[in-house]
Amino acid sequence: MAFDPLYLYMVLPALVFTIFAQAKVSGSFNKYSKMRTSRGVTGVEAAHEILRRAGLDNVRVERVSGRLTDHFDPRSNVIRLSDAVYSAATVAAVGVAAHEAGHAIQYAKDYAPIKLRSAILPVTSFGSKLALPLVLFGFAFNMTGLINLAILLFAAVVVFQIITLPVEFNASSRAVNALKETMLLTPDEIPASRKVLTAAAMTYVGALALSLVQLLRFIIIAKGRR
């Protein structure tokens, strides 16, 4: 499979944006991790309070190792907060914790995009691992059918990432609204928390851009084989 300079021109802007987004979220989190909450609220306390107000006392909150490894696990109904969020009384920590609580609320309220994302997750996990090997194998042995299969599998990955965008932005919107309603953060602290969440959401935009370029590359390869 020969190198195509056009692919470099397509992938470079997406790659630069992704690197910028990752640096932005890291920088924003570091910056606002130094801003302590006026009311002394920690990440775990914020998550518990938002869940309580939403009537989700059945959702547990646990600590998980790592940095920015925070997530909601719908299978075990657990919010896992990283060390820098769980017990930290900072604007960044409270924002991240509120965001994960937002995901728990999405599931509880049957928010359609997150249900759809969960439904296609098995296919995307399968497709993300096999798409490139199938393209290479199909190219090497002149099997266009394998390349077409890879395109379908990777298209599912792209669809998953497209659905992820409204899921993440909605969770952040729920988080900001919850922080306002609960008054866990002061009005002066809300914009800082929003900046952390917005920066994090941009990493998903970057990932989608890279995947779209890769999908286009697969399609170009398939057409070339024909």
Query: Is residue 186 classed as helix, strand or coil in its secondary structure?
Result: coil
pLDDT band with cut points at 50, 70 and 90 for residue 122:
confident
According to DSSP, residue 90 is labeled B
Query: Is residue 58 classed as helix, strand or coil in its secondary structure?
Result: coil
d(CA 70, CA 66): 9
According to DSSP, residue 82 is labeled E
- Provide the residue range defining the domain that includes 99: 5-225
Which tens digit of pLDDT belongs to each residue from 143-179? 777 888 888 889 999 999 999 999 999 999 999 999 9
pLDDT number for residue 7? 65
pLDDT number for residue 224? 65
For the ranges 3-12, 132-141, 163-172, the one whose mean pLDDT is highest: 163-172
State the total domains in the chain. Answer: 1
Active-site residues: which are they?
100
Burial-class residue 89 by CB neighbours within 10 Å (0-12, 13-18, 19+).
Answer: middle
In angstroms, the Cα distances linking 11 to 16, 88, 152, 215 are 9, 38, 20, 11
Q: Which residues contact 126 (CB under 8 A, 6 or more apart)?
A: 153
3: pLDDT strictly greater than 70? no
pLDDT band with cut points at 50, 70 and 90 for residue 4:
low
According to DSSP, residue 35 is labeled S
Which tens digit of pLDDT belongs to each residue from 203-224? 999 999 999 998 988 888 777 6
Which tens digit of pLDDT belongs to each residue from 42-95? 999 999 999 999 999 999 999 999 888 999 999 999 999 999 999 999 999 999
